[in-house]
Amino acid sequence: MKPAITHHIAFFVYPGFVLLDLSGPLEAFSSAESLVPGSYRTTVMSLEGGEVQSSTGLKVMTQVAKADAIDTFVVVGDFGLAHQTIAQETVDFIRAASAGARRTASVSCLPCSAGPAINRSATSTA
């Protein structure tokens, strides 16, 4: 059975992201795609694309971040984020991607920082 639409799930990572916050949800959508082929397309993205190092030291290959055609936008978490200054370019991208996405999810505080500017509520488990 082919679904009526393929949902694009975009995961946004940055240096120091928590690997489990990426791998767990990514595996869940991958499993769902295996059960109903054509239902989900996943992308791991970062501002510049290329390798991005997680908090464990493991590097993940990413695509250049694009804010278009995203159904669910997931901002991956970071243990030290509350103590960092977040680059304006990152906040701007999160705003743009969230504004165009049907939903935004995260275990990070980043979408909450951008929330008021996108006229949407943002929820975090951080």
Per-residue pLDDT tens over the stretch 1-11? 677 789 999 99
Contact 44, 25 (CB under 8 A): no
Residue 71 within a domain: yes
First-to-last C-alpha distance (Å) of the chain: 37
Q: What is the mean pLDDT of residues 51-72?
A: 95
Say how far apart CA 36 and CA 75 lie, in whole Å. 25
Would residue 57 be called left, alpha or beta, if left means φ above 0 and alpha means ψ between -120 and 50 degrees?
A: left
Tokens of 46: 């970062």
Q: What is the mean pLDDT of residues 3-29?
A: 92
Does pLDDT of 121 surpass 70?
no
**Residue owning tokens 């990514």:** 26
Say how far apart CA 96 and CA 86 lie, in whole Å. 16
Best CA proximity match to 99, nearest among 110, 115, 88, 113: 115
Residue 125 within a domain: no
Structural domains counted in the chain? 1
Residue 104 within a domain: yes
Residue 124 within a domain: no
Q: What is the mean pLDDT of residues 65-77?
A: 92
Q: What is the mean pLDDT of residues 23-39?
A: 93
Residue 1 within a domain: no
- CATH code where residue 82 lies: 3.40.50.880
Residue 11 within a domain: yes
Residue 126 within a domain: no
Tokens of 85: 């200054």
Residue 78 within a domain: yes
Say how far apart CA 103 and CA 75 lie, in whole Å. 11
Q: Bridge-partner residues for 104, per DSSP?
A: 73
Domain of residue 104, residue span: 7-118
Q: What number of CA atoms fall less than 13 Å from residue 24's CA on the CB side?
A: 9
